[in-house]
Amino acid sequence: MAIRCSVIRGGTSKGLYFHAGDLPSDPSTRDAVLLAAMGSPDEREIDGMGGGHPLTSKVAVVRSSLRDDADVDYLFLQVWPDRAEVSDNQNCGNLLAGVGPFAIEEGLVDVQGATTSVRIWMENTRSLAVATVQTPDGHVRYDGTTHIDGVPGEHAPVAIEFLDIAGSSCGSLLPTGHPSDEINGVRVTCIDNGMPVVCLAADSVGLTGYELPAEIEANDEVCTFVEALRLAAGPLMNLGDVASSTVPKMCLLAKAQHGGAVSTRTFIPKRVHDAIGVFGAVSVATACLVRGSVAYDVAGADVSDREVLDIEHPSGHFSVTLDVTSDGDTVDVHHAALMRTARLLMRGDVFIPSSVWSHQ
């Protein structure tokens, strides 16, 4: 059975983009279709479109929005390569970068001029983002001069502004009510500015924070300790039992090495990210501006004067524009924005066995 879709690189991730109306309305059947489309469960995803890694086994489901303040609705779904599981309990800011281009290409949003703004309702976190896409001559432009670390070459920029994402998953920016807490004997900062993240100093788990992702993944003792810490943090962040959840993300912090605000190594949660997720970067950057947080102490007080914070990661850095005020335990986020790129790679039909879903 054929189902139309597009393959788009969004930021440092890649995934399948579907019209919501082309997928089953029943979530369990929908998930079975997506598993078949990606070729999961199989670590190589050799019998599907997945790339054998969580960053290349993602799905965006897009529809015209019924909301007055949005043009399209976007649901992110993580298809896991190593198990028959599809998760909707987090957002993805990288695939978000491809939603605007997809909406324009598919006629869900009309071109407005040299640039087109697409208002996106992010269903996972029930929050809004506005993506500004270059559309000269009435078409989406993908080539350009913008480079983002983790992606080769240069492309057209996609500017993304986030509207009121603080506490979108946990209910508040600092879900424990404090800039820092002690969990399992380790000082941490629990924060949610678009993505629930637990920040901790890398040296608190015996690492420098500059190790390559594969080195950290090979350290069973550290991985076991960090996962136990994540499980303990979940209920404190109003996320409940997170044993089968992709959030919170665990982020190890160290002093910046290349002029940025802080250096990061992020668990997503069982693998270590080759870069850092969009919303994860926003949450970590926000933590760097919260006095009394682990990130503030690692980064140093001078970062509080910066309008743009470069969050260093294994393959470069991620720039986040922020306007945050902090007064004790009261923190207000007035503005958060960033720059991504995207590229349409292919569009057509993905084929799945009719035994999975035979309804047209």
Asked if the model's pLDDT at residue 37 lies above 70, the reply is: yes
Residue type, 71: D
The pLDDT-based confidence of 270 (bands split at 50, 70, 90) is: confident
| Domains in the chain with CATH codes | 2-165+342-351 (3.10.310.10), 181-328 (3.10.310.10)
Give the rounded percent of residues in the chain with a pLDDT score beyond 90.
90
Tokens at residue 248, please?
A: 């919170």
The pTM of the whole model exceeds 0.75? yes
**pLDDT 10s digits, 272-290:** 999 999 999 999 999 999 9
| 281 C-beta neighbours (distance < 10 Å), count | 28
Half-sphere CA count of 201, side-chain side, radius 13 A: 17
- φ/ψ of residue 340, rounded to 5: -130, 175
User: Mean pLDDT across the chain, nearest whole number?
Assistant: 95
**pLDDT 10s digits, 302-349:** 888 888 899 999 999 999 998 888 776 678 888 889 999 999 999 999
Q: What is the rounded CA–CA span in Å between residue 233 and residue 215? A: 24
With beta carbons less than 8 A apart as the criterion, state whether 287 and 178 touch.
no
**pLDDT 10s digits, 245-259:** 999 999 999 999 999
Q: Give the 3-state secondary structure of 163-209.
A: ECCECCCCCCCCCCCCCCEEECCEEEEEEEECCEEEEEEHHHHCCCC
Query: Span 64-87, mean pLDDT?
Result: 97
| 330 vs 128, higher pLDDT | 128
What pLDDT is stored for residue 323 in this prediction?
85
**pLDDT 10s digits, 151-209:** 999 999 999 999 888 999 999 999 999 999 999 999 999 999 999 999 999 999 999 99
Half-sphere CA count of 193, side-chain side, radius 13 A: 29
The pLDDT-based confidence of 238 (bands split at 50, 70, 90) is: very high
Percent composition of the chain: helix, strand, coil (DSSP 3-state, to 5): 25, 35, 40
- In Å, how far are 95, 184, 204, 298 from 225, measured between CA atoms? 30, 9, 11, 21
- Displacement of CA 228 from its chain's centroid (Å): 22
What pLDDT is stored for residue 360 in this prediction?
57
Radius of gyration of the chain (CA): 20
